[in-house]
A and B are shown apart, each in its own frame.
Chain A
Amino acid sequence: MISILRSMWLTFLHVFHKTETVEYPEVKPYLAPRYRGRIVLTRDEEKNERCVACYLCAAACPVDCIALQAAEGENGRRYPEFFRINFSRCIFCGFCEEACPTYAIQLIPDFEMAEYDRQNMVYEKQHLLISGEGKYHGYNFYKNAGVDMGVKGKGEGHNEEKPVDLKELLP
């Protein structure tokens, strides 16, 4: 009997508690910078596409929602001919972002992608590609990797040593 009255009283005291509800469309919740939301394709600081169409994101995707086709541009630089993400399948796990060697594919803090037509959930390359650098500024894959794509010469990148002449005997 006492415990019944006590629980009623304690419930009543909730009148003076703060309400937890966030009135969503008017009040937006805080999303952390590393929130895994809508997927974008970024460019490097020279406004070139970062994506090198290596297929690692498509391979890592557990629901197979990423489809792309590689192509080669001038001086052999690879880029995706088309890049398609079906967001009605995407589970926003972020594996594609982890798999990406060039920081091209990134998940950003935006989840407001509701559509009335399911077909509108399929994003093509022009919908995915943004003109900025996303979360990682000043990173250019070709300045770190060894390949010469007209960005830097062989062995001139960050933390990179000059190529060793294998025919040379002297150390």
Chain B
Amino acid sequence: MKYVLIIAGVLGIALTIAAGLIWVERRLLSVWQDRLGPNRVGPFGLGQVIADTIKLFFKEDWVPPFSDRPVFVLAPGILMITILLTFAVVPFGPNFYVFDSNIGVLFFLGNSSLGVYSIVLGGWASNNKYSLIGAMRASAQMLTYEVFMGLSLMGVVMMADSFSFCKIVEAQKGGWFFIPQFIGFIVFFIAGIAETHRLPFDIPEAEGELIAGYHSEYSGMKFGMFFVGEYLGITLISGLIATLFFGGWLGPSFLPPVFWFLLKTFFFIGVFILLRASLPRPRYDQLMELGWKVLLPLALLNLLVTGAILIFLK
């Protein structure tokens, strides 16, 4: 019974945040662009979330006749499943997690690698040249950034001496990891943006050049799954940044731990949206160059130096 409640709670929080982000993102962007944003439906325009959802449900769910039907239908589901599975290992509070895996970090990295399939298959099954180009870009970008996304976390893992997210959070009682692991934090953050293909790294969808990239052919709730999947991805990466580098649910005791976790998560969601509001999209080759020539060496260097210092201190 307790497990069911926790699973329902985690799913509820994750999906509510992801859906609410539709509104949060539009309102925040409008604040940064000196506009008002959606403020008509319900108090502060919060009903916009419900209105958008209803709209998506009632859109015609059209599967193009030239597409590879089973794969086309499956692709959006894969994205949702891989991201939602990862939420299972994220500790929302000291006793508020679905399961404390001793390979939690690896579980997350593996799932995010599987997430690439969703986009590649979606783009491939659409049988559309723009979708295919978008999917190709997405696969290259996500594979590149996955390499050092994992490497940037190894410093944290070494310092916490564990792959388990709960142990990592508890290891930060002496001090949050973003100070000793600052390079790791920066690299993980950039890789996280690329992994969720958010702006400025939204090259797979690049509406200016690729219409909508890999989800050009998707409509109705299948598009909605990609859409919510993207917001779930932001929530996940923000939550993981908070967990891995900013002490997760740790914080002064006048607020419950879950609240601290959500507060930190929301801060990074805000940073994600600020990035979207302020930065232009880099060119494709610039993205690859940044990944392989700057961030990968940085991550490796961080790994080496952290390891050397830890061995020296022992």
Point out residues on A near B: beta carbons under 8 Å: 4, 7-8, 10-12, 14-15, 17-21, 23
Which residue of A10, A12, A18 is within 8 Å of B34 (Cβ)?
Answer: A18
A23 to B274, CA, bound (A): 25
A12 to B28, CA, bound (A): 10
A8 to B32, CA, bound (A): 10
Q: Are A21 and B31 in contact (CB under 8 A)?
A: no
Q: Label chain A's interface by main secondary structure.
A: helix
Point out residues on B near A: beta carbons under 8 Å: 30-36, 274-275, 277-279
Q: Label chain B's interface by main secondary structure.
A: helix
Which residue of A11, A20, A21, A23 is within 8 Å of B277 (Cβ)?
Answer: A11
A23 to B38, CA, bound (A): 11
A18 to B33, CA, bound (A): 10
Given A7-B278, A7-B279, A8-B278; A14-B36 close (CB under 8 Å):
no
Q: Across the interface, which residues of B come within 8 angstroms of A15, CB to CB?
A: 31-32
The count of A-to-B residue pairs whose CB atoms sit within 8 angstroms is: 34
A30, chain B: closest CB distance, angstroms = 19
A67, chain B: closest CB distance, angstroms = 40
Q: Are A8 and B275 in contact (CB under 8 A)?
A: yes
Contact sample, A vs B, 10 pairs, CB 8 Å cutoff: A7-B278, A8-B275, A11-B274, A11-B277, A12-B32, A14-B32, A15-B32, A18-B34, A19-B35, A21-B36
Q: Are A8 and B274 in contact (CB under 8 A)?
A: yes
Q: Are A14 and B31 in contact (CB under 8 A)?
A: yes
A17 to B279, CA, bound (A): 19
Q: Are A20 and B34 in contact (CB under 8 A)?
A: yes
In this complex, the member of A4, A7, A8, A23 whose beta carbon has the largest number of chain B beta carbons within 10 angstroms is: A8
Other 11 A-B pairs with CB < 8 A, given A7-B279, A19-B36, A21-B34: A7-B278, A8-B274, A11-B277, A14-B31, A14-B33, A14-B34, A15-B31, A15-B32, A19-B30, A20-B34, A21-B36
A59 to B92, CA, bound (A): 74
Q: Are A23 and B278 in contact (CB under 8 A)?
A: no
A17 to B31, CA, bound (A): 9
B192, chain A: closest CB distance, angstroms = 16
Q: Across the interface, which residues of A come within 8 angstroms of B34, CB to CB?
A: 14, 17-21
